[in-house]
Structure 1
Amino acid sequence: MTSTVHVVLPGDVDDPATPSGGNYYDRRLCDGLRAHRPVREHPVRGAWPQPAPADRGRLADVLAALPDQATAVVDGLIASAVPDLLQPHSVRLRLITLMHMPLGTPAEGQALRACAAVVTTSEWARTLLSRLYADSSDRIHVAAPGADAAPIATGTAAGSRLLTVAAVTPIKGHDILVDALATLADRQWTLDCAGSLDRDPAYARSLQDRVRAAGLADRIRWHGARTREEIARGYGDADLLVHPTRTETFGMVVTEALARGIPVVASDVGGVPEALGATSDGGVPGLLVPPDDPAALAAALRAWLDDEGLRARLRQAAVSRRPELPGWDVTAARFAEILTLAEASRAHR
């Protein structure tokens, strides 16, 4: 019988008040892995990746209680902060780190060296980690996020309904989007922002002030944290996903939009180009722009709003890309393969 895989997760993995791409990936992974082997989850409460002493104590207890030779997947938000807690178990356990966002810190490098394998979510991240930690490169693998099939969004002929889905923090670039849209006040558009306003409240308030100062308060709507069902309804009403992030390991919101035939305008950073991809005949279902460049983002949005032919081409490419997106079952199967490889490698050491 295939052995149980233990998965060490942030304690808020299922908290609807703290949605994140990493938490959603963890949940879908755990659920999908159960088709391949038994899974036991170990949520650990804490302010990861900046744990308090009590948080570290809870994690230490979880690791100590795992049986000898167990396979344990540790979310990178946790692992990258506590190499000193992982290292004592690096021989007794088969440790695998699931690295959602490479940090490039000394502690992260020490944590990865304690692991039998490292899994990340894009080729971009694998390349970055291999460059940062060359001595671990042969143990770094990719299990890209999946996307669920969904109905094609109805959309509008004018393409005026814009959507962004991300927590309102500086890294996600809402300020760039607001500045870009301020130059397009003479065009017809609305923007719905789905994402927590509580991660950085001062930043969120400053953005809302900027929107009011630009006279756009009736066109830019801030919805705060949304449930998965509410986000799905938001996609259903959208014409275009805008993702002006400053960095991104993959960009699940991109594939979630494409799964509904919605084109994307996004920053050309990290794994976003992988998420956007292209159709089998080479069509690209969106536009990529440099990060931190309001003028470039405004130009892309202006082209989308003004050029009916461009909208038609991007929509057709998005609809064509839709059936080519792998599902979460593919993610889970790939992860199960990596676990088997890591277990075999450790057995022959």
Structure 2
Amino acid sequence: MPVRFLVPANIRHNSGGNVYNARLTQGLRTLGVAVEVLAVDGSWPDSSARERRRLGGLLGAWGPGTGQPRSDTTLETVTLVDGLIACGAPAELEYAAAAGQHTWVLQHMPSPSHPDGEGRALRAAAGVICTSSSAAASATEKHGLPASRVALPGTDPAPVAPGSAPPHIVAVAALLPNKDQLLTVAALARLQDLTWTASLVGTDAADPAYAAQVRAAIASYGMEDRVRVTGQLAGTALADEWNRTDLSLLVSRAEAFGLVVTESLARGIPVIVREGTGAVDALGLACRLVGRPAGALDGERGGERDGGSYAVPGAAVGLAGPGDSGHEDSRAGVLAAVIRQWLLDGTLRAGWRAAALSAREQLPGWDCTARNVFEILGVPAKEVHAVAPTAAGNAGAQ
């Protein structure tokens, strides 16, 4: 049973969704599944009528006669559509379902801009696969879809980061308002009495106006020599940045999972995330993998295990509230206080580091993600031996 995987052509930067899609494709092919990847043109989820009609053709929605697929799509083909596309073209998924096509939606994160289209698309799909438990919970809460399945992202093995002196802090994410680099810069500005360096690693081309605001904020605080905006990095340059890192930040306003959390932990780097986002799932997964209680995400030394004290590999920081400037100032102060504690408290810093090192060897790989997805889709694959515990098992612990 072949798989046709429709992905958005307009997301060109190194996003979590793009990484997941690419690694899932690679993993399915390794398992012997025939996967055809089609990058669908359009400004998804805001597309034109022409782009939506072309999508309908790819879905087999416009076949001749009732229930007849188009010539290059068979009823044995499983079509998997990225949720960014699906929420912008619900009618096309509905027509495809009426034509007898077997279409699944891969939902990376909820769509705040297209909630109605998202609900229609998910209900029209043959099934929904979510890449985090938070996305599945949102589908249930907003659209009444209790049958959503979860296939957690995998993590590539990575060498332990030796870190730096003075400590080096990174925020790895595209420069976008949702990723809230302005909050990170404002928090770091409150720590200029301490010794540290920082990098904002991610494309500055996705939203040039916001990237300009971030650079202007760094300059206004006089931190050009301490906070570097690197742009998107890859290869040796990215590896070098990770190697010098001691602490990772992901303070997105909304996050379905946050691949950078597990990418950091794979290198033994602890992470600070924003409470109430899916990034807490990623940090909580690491806690459960090493036998720590899932609720112990407050950044404190958390209790006793085997007669000794333990720490979680970072902290989930409460940064909720309206977006006016007064609240933004308060949030920056809260985040700065947590980073300050990490910088000054050697015992806390060592505890976070030890917990991250404990988790890194047990993080599930992308092979687990691929096997979970093909089992959900019912796709036959060749025999694979010595497979690690699947993401499905981890999803059950969410």
Same fold (TM over 0.5): yes
1:241 match: secondary structure: strand
- The 8 Å contact of residues 36 and 336 in structure 1, kept in 2 or not, is answered as no
Instruction: Work out whether 1:51 is the aligned partner of 2:47.
Output: yes
2:335 match: secondary structure: helix
- The 8 Å contact of residues 264 and 270 in structure 2, kept in 1 or not, is answered as yes
- The 8 Å contact of residues 120 and 141 in structure 1, kept in 2 or not, is answered as yes
Instruction: Work out whether 1:295 is the aligned partner of 2:333.
Output: yes
After superposing the two structures, state which structure 1 stretch, 211-220 or 221-230, moved more.
221-230
1:193-272 residue pairs with structure 2 within 5 A?
Answer: 193-227=200-234, 230-272=237-279
Aligned to 1:117: 127
- 1: CA distance between counterparts of 2:10 and 2:243? 27
- The 8 Å contact of residues 53 and 92 in structure 2, kept in 1 or not, is answered as no
Question: How big is each residue's C-alpha offset from its partner over 1:296-349, in whole Å with a ceiling of 9 and x where there is no partner?
Answer: 1101100111111111111000000101110000000111111019xxxxxxxx
Letter in 1 for 2:25: C
Aligned to 1:6: 4
1:112 match: secondary structure: helix
- 1: CA distance between counterparts of 2:205 and 2:222? 24
Aligned-residue offset at 1:192: 0.7
Question: How big is each residue's C-alpha offset from its partner over 1:95-152, in whole Å with a ceiling of 9 and x where there is no partner?
Answer: 1100111125111100011111111111111111111111x322x0100100011100
Aligned-residue offset at 1:229: 5.2
- The 8 Å contact of residues 36 and 333 in structure 1, kept in 2 or not, is answered as no
- The 8 Å contact of residues 151 and 260 in structure 1, kept in 2 or not, is answered as yes
Aligned-residue offset at 1:228: 5.5
- The 8 Å contact of residues 272 and 316 in structure 2, kept in 1 or not, is answered as yes
- 2: CA distance between counterparts of 1:66 and 1:74? 14
> Equivalent pairs: percent with the same residue?
39
Aligned-residue offset at 1:262: 0.5
1:67-216 residue pairs with structure 2 within 5 A?
Answer: 67-91=74-98, 92-103=100-111, 105-134=115-144, 136-138=145-147, 140-156=148-164, 158=166, 160-216=167-223
- 1: CA distance between counterparts of 2:211 and 2:7? 28
- The 8 Å contact of residues 7 and 42 in structure 1, kept in 2 or not, is answered as yes
Letter in 2 for 1:126: A
Aligned to 2:375: 337
- 2: CA distance between counterparts of 1:41 and 1:201? 29
2:146 match: secondary structure: helix
- The 8 Å contact of residues 59 and 103 in structure 2, kept in 1 or not, is answered as no
Aligned residues: 333
Match of 2:57 among 57, 61, 82: 61
- The 8 Å contact of residues 275 and 317 in structure 2, kept in 1 or not, is answered as yes
Question: How big is each residue's C-alpha offset from its partner over 1:262-300, in whole Å with a ceiling of 9 and x where there is no partner?
Answer: 011111132212211215242410111023521111011
Q: C-alpha root-mean-square deviation of aligned residues, in Å?
A: 1.7
- 1: CA distance between counterparts of 2:192 and 2:51? 48
Aligned to 2:301: none
- 2: CA distance between counterparts of 1:42 and 1:201? 28
Match of 2:312 among 284, 302, 306: 284
- The 8 Å contact of residues 313 and 352 in structure 2, kept in 1 or not, is answered as yes
- 1: CA distance between counterparts of 2:18 and 2:95? 27
Flag structure 1 segments of 5+ consecutive residues without an equivalent. 342-349
Aligned-residue offset at 1:69: 4.2
Aligned-residue offset at 1:12: 5.1
- 2: CA distance between counterparts of 1:295 and 1:129? 33
Aligned to 1:309: 347
- 2: CA distance between counterparts of 1:323 and 1:23? 24
2:25 match: secondary structure: helix
Distance 1:38 1:229, change over 3 A: farther
Flag structure 2 segments of 5+ consecutive residues without an equivalent. 61-71, 293-310, 321-330, 380-398
- 1: CA distance between counterparts of 2:187 and 2:77? 51
| TM-score for the superposition, normalised by structure 1 | 0.91
Q: Which runs of 4+ in 1 moved over 3 A?
A: none
Letter in 1 for 2:33: R
Aligned-residue offset at 1:89: 1.0
1:168 match: secondary structure: coil
- 2: CA distance between counterparts of 1:59 and 1:227? 32
- 2: CA distance between counterparts of 1:113 and 1:230? 43
- The 8 Å contact of residues 163 and 244 in structure 2, kept in 1 or not, is answered as yes
Distance 1:185 1:300, change over 3 A: same
| TM-score for the superposition, normalised by structure 2 | 0.80
Instruction: Work out whether 1:21 is the aligned partner of 2:16.
Output: yes
Question: How big is each residue's C-alpha offset from its partner over 1:37-92, in whole Å with a ceiling of 9 and x where there is no partner?
Answer: 22111211221111123422332232234223421000001011001111111141
